[in-house]
Structure 1
Amino acid sequence: MSTPGTPSTTRRAWLREHSELGVSLLLLLLGVLVLTDALTMDVAAGQRGPVGPATVPVVVGTGLLAVAVLLAVDVLRGGRGEAEGGEDVDLSEPGDWRTVLLLAGVFLGGAVLIGPAGFPVAGALIFWGSAYALGSRRPDRDPLIAAALSLATYLVFTHLLGVPLPGGPLTGVL
């Protein structure tokens, strides 16, 4: 067991006081990922004009890197994020892991089903499962709303926006 003043205790205390560096590291990694994808993007030779498909990802990736560096410098200089004044979270209560695991399972199930079952079915599962995980207990209403939302989303993206989503068995029907 570490006694106060030992290097292990001192290091833990320093990390606890500078925990925002984790957010900075996450932003840095995300920025590198976005820039790597943008700079290795296969751009067609027929691009017209100075702004191509890689422009926005390069700007976003550069912005993420800049924010990561600025946040790290601020934290190392002693800056700390302030707690929300209107936050009504009781930090003494344990986390609601049941809800977190239900939501994770619903999203994982939707990701697995979107290929074989299509977006309308997988989306309905995600909408209904999320409502259930977050506390709605209306079996007469929730599945109908979930199906309507999923179908409307599918139709808007596929027919109005021209973004093809997998239709699954409903591809020929819709």
Structure 2
Amino acid sequence: MSSTGSTTGATDRRSWLREHSELGVGVLLLVIGVLVLTDALTMDVDITQRGPVGPTTVPIAVGIGLLVVAVLLAVDVLRGGRGEAEGGEDIDLSEPGDWRTVLLLAGVFLANAVLIGPLGFPISGALLFWGSAYALGSRRIDRDPLIAAVLSVVTYFVFNNLLGVPLPGGPLMGVL
């Protein structure tokens, strides 16, 4: 076989993969579905429960749903189905992605995850809201920290007091 034949085979393989790239999403959904089901089925739960719905019911339903969607997507792609190309009135698809914004937002969310324990939600939430506004382009240093603090404290009170979902208060626990 000549080198041209092996090059053509590799090109055909890449072309097939490019045309069926949505199978990657199906594989990802399949892996997540298996992980969710494995976690749900190996949960250590209290045997005594009230009613037919226990703590594993929703994760099992979500895991099964993920598996079903993964299989349906794979069948559709293998039959020639293709997702519609993304379009938008204010999106220039020829421009590259804004990785700076993505990385800033990822950093802000990671910082929130690290700081919520020691600082509590009111402070880490304010940093989250302010950092997100900054990452998305707002440069109003006079207004953004105040809005972030108000949003954070209101969110803390709504979850903690009205919804009964305790959030870590941190050092401000006694003040608020």
The verdict on a shared fold, with TM-score over 0.5 as the criterion, is yes
Kept in 1, the 8 Å contact 2:118–2:170? The answer is yes
- Using the alignment, how far apart are the partners of 2:158 and 2:17 within structure 1? 47
- 2:161 corresponding residue in structure 1: 159
| 1:131 corresponding residue in structure 2 | 133
Aligned mate of 1:115, from 114, 117, 123: 117
Q: After TM superposition, give the deviation of residue 74 of structure 1 in Å.
A: 0.4
State the 1:87 CA deviation: 4.7
For 2:126, the aligned partner's letter is A
CA RMSD, Structure 1 to Structure 2 (Å): 2.0
In the TM superposition, residue 98 of structure 1 has moved relative to its aligned partner by 1.3
Quick one: distance in 1 between partners of 2:32 and 2:99?
26
2:105 matches 1:103: yes
Instruction: From the superposition, tell whether residues 26 and 87 of structure 1 become closer, same or farther in structure 2 (CA, over 3 Å).
Output: farther
The SS at the match of 1:145 is: helix
User: How far 1:148 sits from its partner (Å)?
Assistant: 0.9
Aligned counterpart in structure 1 of residue 63 of structure 2, from 61, 64, 67: 61
Hey, what does 2:28 align to over in structure 1?
26
Give the drift of 1:5: 5.2
Other-structure match for 2:38: 36
Q: Deviations over 1:126-165 (max 9, x none)?
A: 1111111111111111111111111111111111122111
Taking every aligned residue pair, what percent have the same amino acid on both sides? 79
Query: Gaps spanning 5+ residues in structure 2: where?
Result: none
TM-score (ref. length: structure 1): 0.91
Comparing 57-66 and 85-94, the one that deviates more: 85-94
Aligned CA distance change for structure 1 residues 2 and 162 (closer, same or farther; 3 Å) = farther
C-alpha contact 1:34 1:57 (8 A) present in aligned 2: yes
Supply the AA of the counterpart residue of 1:132.
Answer: Y
The alignment of Structure 1 onto Structure 2 pairs a total of residues equal to 174
TM-superposed deviation, 1:85: 5.0
> Which whole-Å deviations, capped at 9, do the CAs of 1:17-41 have from their partners, x for residues lacking one?
1111111111111111211121112
Any idea what the Cα deviations from partners look like across 1:56-92, whole Å, max 9, x if unmatched? 1111110111000000010011100112454542222
* CA drift at 1:7: 2.4
Supply the distance in 1 between the matched residues of 2:156 and 2:6 (Cα, whole angstroms).
59
SS in structure 1 of the partner of residue 73 of structure 2: helix
1:17 alignment partner, one of 16, 19, 22 = 19
Shift of 1:51: 1.1
